[in-house]
Amino acid sequence: MKEKIKSLLKKRKAIMLAHNYQPPEIQDIADLCGDSLELSIKASMTDAEVILFCGVTFMAETASVLSPEKRVLLPRKDAGCPMADMVTPAQLKLRLAGLPPMPVVTYVNSSVSVKAMSTICCTSANAIEVVNSLEAEEILMVPDRNLAQYTASKTNKKIHLWDGYCPFHDSLTPEDVEKAKKMHPDALFMAHPECRPEILELADAIASTSGMIRYASESDSLSFIVGTEIGMLYPLKKANPGKEFYPASKNMLCNDMKKISLDDIVRSLETMEGEVKVPENIRQPALKAVQRMIDLSTSS
């Protein structure tokens, strides 16, 4: 199966990108695994003709926004992100009508139509940098209230929150973390900024998914409790075979990130099924917001 995928990728002149939460067998054959920011940057720079995106809809949409001349395939079109569905263009318009004029910083975990209404995008890896790059003193951040609260705690700006969240990260409780810490007293605790503020207070490190890999690699510690989606245990262990990684909670499992199978990938590459194409009238304004973020992250 893996050989078949490799030869199909070659035939289609395709690059295969996979998010860090994807199943191990997918990560093992991808050309690049990474967090949302790394995957966006790669999608903006590749000269492949086809981008096979193993992740969820908003990631494939972002790739299509950045590379309209390429064909972007999401092998399972139904792989979404519940947090991205927590803000619609109509809801955002209504909220903005009730606020004084201010920039909108939109987490990439959002639909492309919401990005199209935004000043700039951000990911978990660059949210603080993005907010600090704006001159305005008041900013609306959508849709993740936890990422927005974390960012607010690191800047002097007034951040207006949107009441969205990741159901899996938001469900992690301080009791879960305390229990894991009791079982692994020597382990450091890494948390994703999508976790609640009371969880982040308990963390030794707060980082994006790839930020966690870097932190664990650079740390002298030999064991870590991982406060993010449990798919992350695989790339952490792969990059650090001599270290131990324990889930903060086994319930942090994102079903959408596990939908794509090797069969789906073969089918998609054979038939070009699952193509994601953003209409030009939405792509243009969304590109401004995404490109502004990428320019910031690649210049620093």
Q: What residues make contact with ligand 13P under the rule CB under 6 A?
A: 20, 35-36, 109, 123-124, 166, 194, 208-209, 229
What's the rounded Cα separation, in Å, for the pair 27 and 38?
Answer: 15
**Binding partner of residue 36 among ligand 13P, ligand SF4, none, CB cut-off 5 to 8 Å per kind:** ligand 13P
48 vs 177, which CB is nearer to ligand SF4?
177
Cβ 295 to ligand SF4, closest distance in Å? Answer: 24
> Nearer to ligand SF4 by C-beta: 58 or 224?
58
Residues forming contacts to ligand SF4 in the complex (CB under 6 A) are: 56, 81-83, 109, 166, 168, 194, 229, 254, 256-257
Q: Which residue has the tokens 């940098």?
A: 129
Least Å from the CB of residue 88 to ligand 13P: 19
Compute the least distance from the CB of residue 35 to ligand 13P, in Å.
3
CB atoms within 10 A of CB 264: 20
Q: What's the rounded Cα separation, in Å, for the pair 35 and 232?
A: 10
The count of other CB atoms within 10 Å of the CB of residue 82 is 16
- Considering CB distances under 5 to 8 angstroms, the limit depending on partner class, which of ligand SF4, ligand 13P, none binds residue 57? none
CA pair distance 258, 33, nearest whole angstrom? 15
Q: Choose the one of ligand 13P, ligand SF4, none that binds residue 61, judging by a C-beta under 5 to 8 angstroms depending on kind.
A: none
Least distance between ligand 13P and beta carbon 9 (Å): 23
Looking at the Cβ atoms of 22 and 67, the one nearer to ligand 13P is: 22
- Measured from the CB atom, the residue of 230 and 265 that comes closer to ligand SF4 is 230
